[in-house]
Amino acid sequence: MSDRVTMPALGESVTEGTVTRWLKNVGDTVAVDEPLLEVSTDKVDTEIPSPVAGTLQEILVEEDETVPVGADLAVVGDGEASGGSDSSDDSAEAEDKGEEKTEEAAEETSSEKESKSSDDEQKSEEPKQEAASSGGGEVSGGEKVTMPALGESVTEGTITRWLKAEGDDVAVDEPLLEVSTDKVDTEVPSPVAGKLTKILVSEDETVPVGADLAVIGGEAGGSSSGSSDDSAESEEKAEQPQESVDSEKQDEAVEAAENKSETSEPEKAPEAKEEPKQEAPAKESSSSDQGDKQQEASTKVDNSGTYVTPLVRKIAAENNIDLSSIKGTGVGGRIRKQDVLDAAKAASAPKEEAPAPTQESAAAAPAASATPQAAPQASAEAQAKRGTTEKMSRLRKVIAQRMVESLATSAQLTAVVEVDMTKVAATRARNKENFKSREGVNLSYLPFITTAVVEALKAFPQVNSSVDGENIVYHNAEHIGIAVDTPRGLLVPVVKDAGDLSIAGIAKKIADLAARTRDNKVTPDELGGGTFTISNIGSNGSLLDTPIINQPQVAILGTGAMTKRPVVVTDEFGNDSIAVRQMMYLVLTYDHRVVDGADAGRFLSAVKARLEEGAFEV
């Protein structure tokens, strides 16, 4: 009995992966979950574990080859791999016999592959037909997994990724799939333990709450009647791929002999090098043709047109290596990982001592060296995205839709005030160490600003309202949304009843919500119900921005970066002086359907006065 190892789904938008290194050889024994190979995609480099224990009987995809998600990578089964010893004997004979045997072996291998090509194509289609027939069968018994209710206003969800495949064993509460809604992306756990018998909803499909997603347990119809036929076919197929492995290893032996003969008789080398090109059509099957087209469409190349895997690009970027200057030693001139490492080692070797600089060059050196240091360094992920096209994630599509709808719904204006945060900065500096030890969280400026905003919202209820058709709803509590930047996109968890919390309570709530939002552990209900939003636009250095209102709210406050600047300060006696102060811009975008400019100005002035007073109990 044997099992096929397939290319797993390694991300929502990942459609293919490149085999960068095999950690096991044909004939090696592997355990369950033992790393079998390394795979590289445009988003992640990872190890693929073996799904079963046994012997690695066949490697179907060579290193540096790119295949789509779901493609077969290897065969792991019981017993020893057949043909392994033959290949080593062939290799030794090919090296001993020289060029004459090389040509005979090459011709014999080519003819064998041509005679078997039609059989290969036919058998490569059989697994697809079997999978289609078994996938469409009915399942008797079992427990159905349904789309859960992921929030008060959530009515549907989209399947972004299945974490288990049909036939996998799952435990109770083990993550089964990932679901995306217009409020949150989350994992759906298995309600029972058992085998995942059937997947009813494919990835990227949207279904309503309560819809059936999968069946755990039970028995697939028609599986028992065809068990003997399936076993016979599997044995027959196991022999056929092994033959192709033998022929491939003969090719490798031939290639080794060719390389050896090239040094003695270089005039015969062009004839020997033609063999792989003639054999290539015999290796291809109808299933691999489609994968090759996908590979060509998404393959990354360097300036010279040579294939480069994402992992190689990453290593080159980390070591500042120009890929166009490297001559690849891989198949077809491909640049391999070792090529980049060798180039990096050579670049780091001590260089010859340069001649003493002239007076002019020495004077110009500081100016010249300052420019590269100021230039931003592109990460490997950023480099991999250049020149590519990717599908919008579910969350990104929701954000785009909501922002456009907000601008089309309300009449949005922006008002700005400048706030002297010097007293708040002094209060924070005095208390942050004791606060951290007492409360367990850092004391940032955001709890001070949130407290000032909450107090102003109580005084100006029109800013803490929302529009419902032709009605204005004035809320009786202050639920403050805090914009959080995550790798998946911008999310806004809500601090409920912020008006009833102290600075310490607000600080702990913000820290908890922000951490769980970034870890994708926030619940949908925590992402809704806000009455006012604060966005820390200064977290990345921005002084000003014009935030877009989070509907159906009527206002959002942006807090700019705090900077030290000289400003005119008037003391209690009316005397002016210039002093260095901690200054910040507060930006309020408001809905002119409900909030007039005068109301916005008064609201901002109240927040400004409260912060500049600096009288907070920490």
Query: Which residues belong to the active site?
Result: 592, 596
Residue 345 · residue 53 · CB < 8 Å:
no
Cα 181 to Cα 213, 342, 400, 479, 524: the distances in Å are 15, 47, 14, 22, 9
Residue 219 CB contacts under 8 Å (≥ 6 apart), including other chains: 139, 140, 141, 142, 197
Say if strands 532-535 and 480-482 run parallel, antiparallel, or are unpaired. parallel
Query: Residues 6 or more apart from 302 whose CB is under 8 A from it?
Result: 308, 323, 324, 335
Strand partners, 468: 471
DSSP β-ladder status, 576-591 and 555-559: antiparallel
- Taking the C-alpha atoms of residue 383 and residue 588, their distance in angstroms, rounded to an integer, is 36
Tokens of 451: 């407290």
Residue 499 CA to residue 457 CA, distance in Å, equals 9
Distance (Å, whole) CA 90 – CA 104: 13
Cα dihedral 50→53→56→61 (10° resolution): -20
Alpha carbon separation from 69 to 19, 43, 48, 248, 428 (Å, rounded): 12, 14, 13, 24, 52
Helix (H, G, I), strand (E, B) or coil at 328: coil
